[in-house]
Structure 1
Amino acid sequence: MAVPQIVAQRPVIAGDKELTVSTIRIAADYYDTVIFDDSVDKRHVGMVIGGYVIDHSSKRATDRDAAMENHREALIAVRNEQPRAVRS
């Protein structure tokens, strides 16, 4: 199996958010988009933004176009939404 390849990666600093949206290619038909918390105190880990649980969940795509759409939507969410706690 090949090493995952970074397809797109963008840091976003807005207000108290220091997050990175990252999309990687794992295989020919497997791309994952993830949101990471880059803040020193990791204040947003486990919170939800744009349908992602920060540092915990990803969205899969089966081709590059769909992966780039996931990446774009995640960037918009990170810029415009506030992270919120996961409901129990």
Structure 2
Amino acid sequence: MNAPRTVARRSVIAGGKELTVSTIRIAADYYDTVIFDDSADKRHRGMLLGGYVIDKSSKRATDREAGMENHREALLAARRETPKRLR
């Protein structure tokens, strides 16, 4: 099996957030998208944003098109939404 390969990675610095949205290809037709907290104090780690728990959860897709759609949606959420604490 080949090592995972990054297919898309974008940094978002906006509204007090320092995040990275990353999508990797794990295997043929298997893509995983994650939002990472890049702030020095990790203030958003474990918070909910766009259906993701920052630094803890991911969304999977079974083809490149769906993987890139997950990436676009996560990127928009990172730019526009405010992270929320889990209850």
Q: Deviations over 1:50-73 (max 9, x none)?
A: 000000000000000000000000
Q: TM-score, normalised by structure 1?
A: 0.97
What is the rounded CA distance, in whole Å, between the counterparts of 1:29 and 1:67 in structure 2?
9
Equivalent position of 1:19 in the other structure? 19
Root-mean-square deviation (CA, aligned residues, Å) is 0.5
Q: Supply the AA of the counterpart residue of 1:78.
A: A
Q: Supply the AA of the counterpart residue of 1:18.
A: E
Matches within 5 A, 1:3-42: 3-42=3-42
Gaps of 5+ in 1: none
Measured after TM superposition, the shift of residue 15 of structure 1 is 1.6
Identity of aligned residues (%): 76
Instruction: Count residues with an aligned counterpart.
Output: 87
Would you identify which runs of 4 or more consecutive aligned residues in structure 1 move more than 4 Å?
Answer: none
